Structure formats: C-alpha cells, structure tokens
Amino acid sequence: MLAKRLFAGLLVVVLSLLAVAPAAAGGPDHFKAEVVGNDIYYCDTDGIYELGPDADGNGLPDWATGAEHQLMGVYYVHFRAHFFYDKEGNLARSWYHGVLEWTITNPDTGEFITEKQTFVDQEEEGRYITNHSWHVKLPGEAPAFQDAGRVIFNAETWEVEFIAGHHPSLETGGADYCAILGVGTWIAYSYTEYIE
C-alpha cells in the first residue's frame, strides 16, 4: 500500500510542472519551483479501522476512521525541471533535481523526526531513472531509515528494470513514521501543498 511513498512528493511536483509546461518546439524549457505544505499521517494500533478513498491518485488512502493517532508533517521542496524537445516539438527528455525536507511530529508528545530526500532524475525513451538519497532520523540518533542509489523504472508500468544501491523502500514501501515514533502502523496519508 505504501510502496509509492518514496516518489509521491516528487511526482506531485512533476505533474504540476508538466501541466504548465508549454508544448512549444525549440525548447528546452526550464522551470524552478518551491513547494511547501502540510501533511497528516494516520496511525493505527489496534487493527480496527476503515480507509478512505484515494481521491488524489497517489496510491495512498486520504484518511482513515478508527486511527488512534495522527502525526503532523510540514515539508519543503526545492525543485528544478528541464524539458527537451525533438525537432517536431515532442517532449524527448526531461530532467529533475530537487531537495525535499520534512519534519513529522507527534502532537501528543512533541517527539519528531526529520526526513531529507535529494534526487537527480530523468525520463527518456520510456524509462524513469532516479538517483536519490533518502534519510529519516530521530534527533541525535542514527538514521531510522535510509534508502540511496539508482533505480531505473519502466515509465509506463513503473516496473523496476535496474537497481543499484540500498533500496528497502521497494520492498517495504518506505519508512513507517508511525512505528518510528512509537504510535502504531501508518495506514493513510493526506497533504496540502502550496506551489510558490
């Protein structure tokens, strides 16, 4: 269920930029964006809950009834995108670079974790290539979760074609923020973002 979390923030930004990218021949086109937002992580401890819909299409339920805890997140994304076109004006290649930073807090205890992702990605000839580093930490402790290296996906099916590095997110779906903060299992996620 949470397997898409690693790229969810990136894909939201990419899709918003593609929506405004002009389809003009000659390019390349260059975009820069800063995104800030808030998110909520729904945590379950007793296994009794009902998941809401995935209205935003990111692969995660948007809410859950029966979740005993909610973690509050604040995130910031600095993002650059470059789009290159062929002679006919069709998009031939895209390149993305960014830094995503989150602080996720348990409002009941004040405990928090920090997360940082950096990436240099490209899409070309039906492949999506990501080179990234992803770390989740409790203050003053070693990383509770880390994922780094290169993964090449089929851009249409999202099947892995090549992998190098340490990528537990491909099997586990990523860091379980609820478990790291000791309040159960992560079951749903919602967010609000503001593109500057």
Q: What is the pLDDT of residues 127-142, one digit of tens each?
A: 999 999 999 999 989 8
Domain that includes residue 115, residue range = 5-195
Task: Answer for the pair 63, 190: CB distance below 8 angstroms, yes or no.
Answer: yes
Main-chain phi, psi angles of 89, to 5 degrees: 90, 10
* Inter-CA distances, 49 with 54, 174, 185, 186, Å: 16, 21, 12, 12
pLDDT of the residue at 110 = 95
- φ and ψ of 15, to 5 deg: -65, -35
pLDDT at 196: 59
Nearest to 9 by CA among 85, 105, 102: 102
Task: Report the C-alpha gap between 28 and 47 in whole angstroms.
Answer: 50
Can you list the residues of the chain whose pLDDT is less than 50?
A: 1-13, 15, 17, 19-25
Count of domains forming the chain: 1
Cα(149)–Cα(140) distance, rounded to whole angstroms? 24
